[in-house]
Amino acid sequence: MSNVGTFTVEDGIGVISIDSPPVNALGINVRRALDEGFRKFTADDSIKAIVLICGGRTFFAGADISEFGKPMQEPGLADVFDIIENGTKPVVAAIHGTALGGGYELALICNYRIAVPSAKVGLPEVNLGLLPGAGGTQRLPRIVGVETALQIMTTGAPVPAKKAFELGMIDALAEEGKLKEDAVAFARKLVAEGKKPVRVRDRQDKVEPSRGHPEIYDAFRAKNARAFRGFKAPWNIIKAIEASAELDFDAGMVREGELFRDLMEGTEALAQRTYFFAERETAKVPDVPADTPIIPVKSVGIIGAGTMGGGITMNFLNAGIPVTLVEMTQEALDRGVGVIRKNYENTAKKGRMTAEQVEQRMALVTPVLGLEALANVDLVIEAVFEEMGVKKDVFGKLDKICKQGAILASNTSFLDLDEIAAATSRPEWVVGLHFFSPANVMRLLEVVRGAKTSNSVVSTAMKLAKTISKVPVLSRVCNGFIANRIMSQRGRQSDALVFEGPTPAEIDKAIYDYGFAMGPFQMIDLVGLDVIGRGETERTVRGDLVKMDRLGQKKNGGYYDYDEKRNATPSPIAAGLIADIAKSKGINSSGSIPADEIVARLLYPVVNEGAKVLEEGIAIRASDVDVAAILGYGWPVYTGGPMFWADTIGLPKIVAGLEAMGIEPSKLLKSMAAEGKTFTRG
């Protein structure tokens, strides 16, 4: 008897129920249970049909990712799938929760699929740098057609049950809460009608029309070239789906296997599955006991209805948490609330929200003037002007106004949280909640733990992050916390390198080709030269450009000039300033340098700063630094983030490169390199 499977019979219908928390991943115990259950019911002539269902929160959520990279224990996924698909009795997959990856591929092996309306199905392997390797690339096109299959597998997006039913990904919708009954009834009806098992693999009607049309895939590649740039998996997925139309099923499966192994053996897949676990690890705070009391947060006050305050407000409205939004003038308040409403209305225009949902969210925000209205909220987040005096004044007032037990949070992006906390009589209730702009979009939330912040406040903030669909990364207090601090090294190096020869455009291209959405100079022009400052005292190109009222894309150009369509061309004015300052510094231009040297020059110092935030105890773990860089700055996830990437390059090479640049490697980095250790490879 399996320890995760129970096998019952209901009037000739065999029910195989698997319960393997947390998500019924298809690990060895689950595979053994499936093997046992299907052999048992296949051999039993009294069983006329089989229902496959899961306990817990979801139908199988995929292969067990923690098994990847290790030898697959028997029975493998293919062995189990063969037993099911080659059976002689109809098999019905009963789906709730999220049937994803190998889980949905298992459902496709079954003859029929029934799901509750709240369920979702999908093939998200692309997010792991992989492709559906258990027949999904060959079976799904046979159900939904090539074009829809391309979209589903290259985005990896889950498909809600009702949409899946329309597409044919599931055959019936069960009543919420009656999945098992409805699935058994569905199976019983198949038996009564004498239905023979229909195998998805035998269907041709949906792929036939695409046979001999390579233009389908060329058009899809062209349309998604930018989105898939630098990734490997989407391109292999397209090839596998083309095989589903061009080859017979068995040959298509062979092709899928080749393309899957090509990905599995690559660094990208290791990087992305490492990231999958890293993103879930950040919420774990080793030195805070798991049973630390969580403070209920049922109402929030947000001070500042500007870009950040408005975006932060939306996170809580989206989670159904009411917000008292505070500004100092009615005009600022009206503008802030107007922007929030407009954002929701734009989402509704795209069909991602209903007008009713817009009103539901807007009903949760109470705009007020003055701080007194915050007396009874559970959490206050200030998003006021980034100046210490202003912050301390606000917190001093909050200390007098807010109820005991309210959490007082600052959205500061680099100021000393301990100094802010000292402006109150309750520093243990003060925490940093550093959102990244746009705050309602960016998933990273740096939770800043002050010297006196209590464990309860830390635990509450980390849990609250998940409630508002953010990924929390805990940071101690330092200038720039984690993401801004390490990535400021890239900015410093690009500012210095540009005097040595490579142009801003060459530097931007090298960083773009590495995988960032844009290079440092393109980013400064986009954000605004007057916004980003690193407190430099000496003359800088950026300072000169600002003095010339060249603020970037928003005004007169910056490092680039822009036409009315915002097409960029390198600015001769910037080039002249660069040459002039280089000359005044006595720096001789060496001309352009190879792209990999530009990447090393800009990104090795980021790795070095990542090592420093680790050795200073600012960040808990190297993978947290990777999560912060990936989510906060769009560091390309297929490289795994700065610390994972450094392990891929080899720490000794990073150390040597830094020394060649005249940059002192951190103590931790040097010692790890000397000891042959890695940040993220265990």
Contact status, residue 300 vs residue 379, Cβ threshold 8 Å: yes
Nearer to ligand T1G, 256 or 327 (CB): 256
Contact status, residue 557 vs residue 563, Cβ threshold 8 Å: no
Contact status, residue 64 vs residue 32, Cβ threshold 8 Å: no
Q: How far is the CB of 235 from ligand T1G (least distance, A)?
A: 17
Exposure of 193 by Cβ count < 10 A (0-12 exposed, 13-18 middle, 19+ buried)? exposed
Query: Considering only residues 5, 37, 62, 605, which one is a binding residue for ligand T1G as defined by CB under 6 A?
Result: 62
Q: How far is the CB of 110 from ligand T1G (least distance, A)?
A: 16
Q: Contact between 63 and ligand T1G (CB under 6 A)?
A: yes
Q: Is 147 an active-site residue?
A: no
Contact status, residue 316 vs residue 300, Cβ threshold 8 Å: yes
Touching ligand T1G, residues 245-284 (CB under 6 A): 277, 280
Q: How far is the CB of 21 from ligand T1G (least distance, A)?
A: 8
Q: What share of the chain is helix, strand, coil (3-state, %, to 5)?
A: 50, 15, 35
# residues near ligand T1G by CB under 6 A: 25
Give me the catalytic one of 85, 125, 382, 446. Answer: 125
Q: How far is the CB of 157 from ligand T1G (least distance, A)?
A: 11
**Stretch of 57-65, 404-412, 625-633, 643-651 contacting ligand T1G, by CB under 6 A:** 57-65
Q: How far is the CB of 67 from ligand T1G (least distance, A)?
A: 8
Q: How far is the CB of 145 from ligand T1G (least distance, A)?
A: 20
Give me the catalytic one of 10, 67, 105, 193. Answer: 105
Q: Contact between 125 and ligand T1G (CB under 6 A)?
A: yes
Touching ligand T1G, residues 443-502 (CB under 6 A): none
Nearer to ligand T1G, 56 or 501 (CB): 56
**Measured between alpha carbons, how far is 92 from 206 in angstroms, rounded to an integer?**
22
Q: Contact between 133 and ligand T1G (CB under 6 A)?
A: yes
Cα dihedral across residues 592, 550, 483, 633: positive or negative: negative
Contact status, residue 295 vs residue 405, Cβ threshold 8 Å: yes
The token pair at 109 is: 């092996």
**Measured between alpha carbons, how far is 206 from 225 in angstroms, rounded to an integer?**
26
Nearer to ligand T1G, 260 or 316 (CB): 260
Q: How far is the CB of 182 from ligand T1G (least distance, A)?
A: 23
**Stretch of 133-141, 211-219, 442-450, 632-640 contacting ligand T1G, by CB under 6 A:** 133-141
Q: How far is the CB of 103 from ligand T1G (least distance, A)?
A: 7
Nearer to ligand T1G, 249 or 481 (CB): 249
Nearer to ligand T1G, 101 or 641 (CB): 101
Q: Contact between 54 and ligand T1G (CB under 6 A)?
A: no
Q: 223: helix, coil or strand?
A: helix
Q: How far is the CB of 411 from ligand T1G (least distance, A)?
A: 25
Q: 159: helix, coil or strand?
A: strand
Nearer to ligand T1G, 109 or 134 (CB): 134
Nearer to ligand T1G, 65 or 668 (CB): 65
- Interacting residues of 20 by C-beta distance below 8 A, sequence separation 6+: 4, 27, 29, 30, 33, 56
Contact status, residue 268 vs residue 232, Cβ threshold 8 Å: yes
HEC sequence for 630-653: HHHHCCCHHHCCHHHHHHHHCHHH
- Dmax over CA atoms of the chain, in Å, equals 92
Amino acid in the structure at residue 94: A
Q: Contact between 317 and ligand T1G (CB under 6 A)?
A: no
Residue matched to tokens 């352009």: 592
Nearer to ligand T1G, 392 or 466 (CB): 466
Touching ligand T1G, residues 615-644 (CB under 6 A): none
Exposure of 199 by Cβ count < 10 A (0-12 exposed, 13-18 middle, 19+ buried)? middle
| Of residues 260, 259, 246, 247, the one with CA closest to residue 214 | 246
**Stretch of 58-66, 109-117, 200-208, 671-679 contacting ligand T1G, by CB under 6 A:** 58-66
Q: Is 125 an active-site residue?
A: yes
| Of residues 383, 395, 377, the one with CA closest to residue 321 | 377
**Stretch of 62-70, 146-154, 160-168, 639-647 contacting ligand T1G, by CB under 6 A:** 62-70
DSSP 285-353: -TTS-TTPPPPP---EEEE--SHHHHHHHHHHHHTT--EEEEESSHHHHHHHHHHHHHHHHHHHHTTSS
Query: Considering only residues 50, 109, 130, 474, which one is a binding residue for ligand T1G as defined by CB under 6 A?
Result: 130
Q: Find residue 9's DSSP bridge partners.
A: 14
Q: How far is the CB of 445 from ligand T1G (least distance, A)?
A: 15
**Measured between alpha carbons, how far is 238 from 244 in angstroms, rounded to an integer?**
10
The beta strand positions in 411-559, using DSSP E, are 430-435, 444-449, 471-476
**Stretch of 17-25, 227-235, 240-248, 345-353 contacting ligand T1G, by CB under 6 A:** 17-25
Nearer to ligand T1G, 188 or 273 (CB): 273
Q: How far is the CB of 65 from ligand T1G (least distance, A)?
A: 4
**Stretch of 132-140, 377-385, 437-445, 450-458 contacting ligand T1G, by CB under 6 A:** 132-140
**Stretch of 127-135, 400-408, 470-478, 641-649 contacting ligand T1G, by CB under 6 A:** 127-135
Query: What character string, x for contact with ligand T1G (CB under 6 A) and - otherwise, covers 66-105?
Result: x----------x--------------------x-xxx--x
Nearer to ligand T1G, 53 or 606 (CB): 53
**Stretch of 64-72, 291-299, 434-442, 601-609 contacting ligand T1G, by CB under 6 A:** 64-72
Query: Considering only residues 15, 25, 573, 620, which one is a binding residue for ligand T1G as defined by CB under 6 A?
Result: 25
Nearer to ligand T1G, 21 or 591 (CB): 21
**Measured between alpha carbons, how far is 228 from 238 in angstroms, rounded to an integer?**
11
**Measured between alpha carbons, how far is 520 from 507 in angstroms, rounded to an integer?**
8
Q: How far is the CB of 19 from ligand T1G (least distance, A)?
A: 14
**Measured between alpha carbons, how far is 627 from 622 in angstroms, rounded to an integer?**
9
Cα dihedral across residues 398, 451, 415, 278: positive or negative: negative
Query: Considering only residues 15, 53, 65, 245, which one is a binding residue for ligand T1G as defined by CB under 6 A?
Result: 65
Active site residues: 105, 125
Residues engaged in binding ligand T1G (CB under 6 A): 22-23, 25, 61-66, 77, 98, 100-102, 105, 124-125, 128, 130, 132-134, 136, 277, 280
